[in-house]
Amino acid sequence: MRLGVITGVHEDVVRLKQAFELLRQNGCDAIACLGDIVGYSVAYYGFEKFRDAHQAVELVKQHCRYVVAGNHDLYAVRKISTRQKVFEYPSNWYALERSARQELSQGRVWLYEDELAALLTPEDEAYLRRLPEFLPVTIDGLGIMLSHYAYPDLSGDSVSFNPALLDNLAQHLRFMSDHGCRLSFSGHDGRNGVAIYTGAERREAGFGIHALPQHQPVWIQIPWVANGTYDNGVLVLDTTHRQIEAIPLNTPPHVVPSGRNAKDL
């Protein structure tokens, strides 16, 4: 089977349509979306005039067999993540003034100060609310974990959590194993291609074809679809040949305006 995998749409329907066409041309049998379907910040993306949260949701619903929520999706519908252990949200989190949320969070989680409101229908909001924050699936005998980020921050709430650190990576690899998965895909962090992590290896692999490690669990971060500050693209998993291919969409990366911090959202 050939599984297409996308993430980081951020309401960029132009690149999303290109991504689906590219995956169709590459013979994908099914597509998975790893979240951040919506969520737009003026400083970090370059397509404000044609961003469309509703159409992005509709296209994902139409084309994707597997979908999980990202941190921006949860924020858009004011849903508190239940699959993270980096911050204990009070139940009235979104009823609090921003200053109160800043004081409580102490810079540990995103507050989305620059986020434009996602223009969604009630049906769109209900769909985003129903999305799981992780999804283990089995394809051709291969257990695959789909999530926006890595355990214990599966939705990507934390400002500073770094899953590539050895101890943090070990937590995610154990989480995969506990759910019968040898392979895991995530998005969230911007990547120029893919990053590949195992217990013995952590490397930026870029675009192109990469063989999967045969005898150990592997976690893979994939590129965004949106025209953001990194090279955008899609990923194709070939379960028959046990390999992945990161394919660029070749959109020139957006340049953050002078004076703004280019740190990922």
pLDDT tens digits, one per residue of 186-196 = 999 988 999 99
Distance CA 160, CA 162 (A): 6
- pTM score of the predicted model: 0.95
The separation between CA 56 and the C-alpha centre of its own chain, rounded to angstroms, equals: 14
pLDDT at 8: 97
SS percent in the chain: helix, strand, coil, step 5: 25, 25, 50
Work out the average pLDDT over 140-150. Answer: 97
The tally of CA atoms less than 13 A away on the side-chain side of residue 255 is 3
pLDDT tens digits, one per residue of 209-265 = 999 988 899 999 999 999 999 999 999 999 999 999 999 999 999 888 765 544 444
pLDDT at 264: 42
pLDDT at 263: 42
What percent of the chain stands above pLDDT 70?
A: 97
> How much is the mean pLDDT over the chain?
93
pLDDT at 2: 98
- 207 confidence band (pLDDT: 50, 70, 90): very high
Angle at 176 between CA 7 and CA 172, to 5 degrees: 75
Tokens of 139: 């394809």
Most confident of 143-152, 158-167, 208-217: 143-152
**With 60 as the cut, is the pLDDT of residue 133 above it?**
yes
Tokens of 115: 């986020």
**With 90 as the cut, is the pLDDT of residue 150 above it?**
yes
Q: Higher pLDDT residue, 215 or 23? A: 23
Work out the average pLDDT over 198-203. Answer: 87
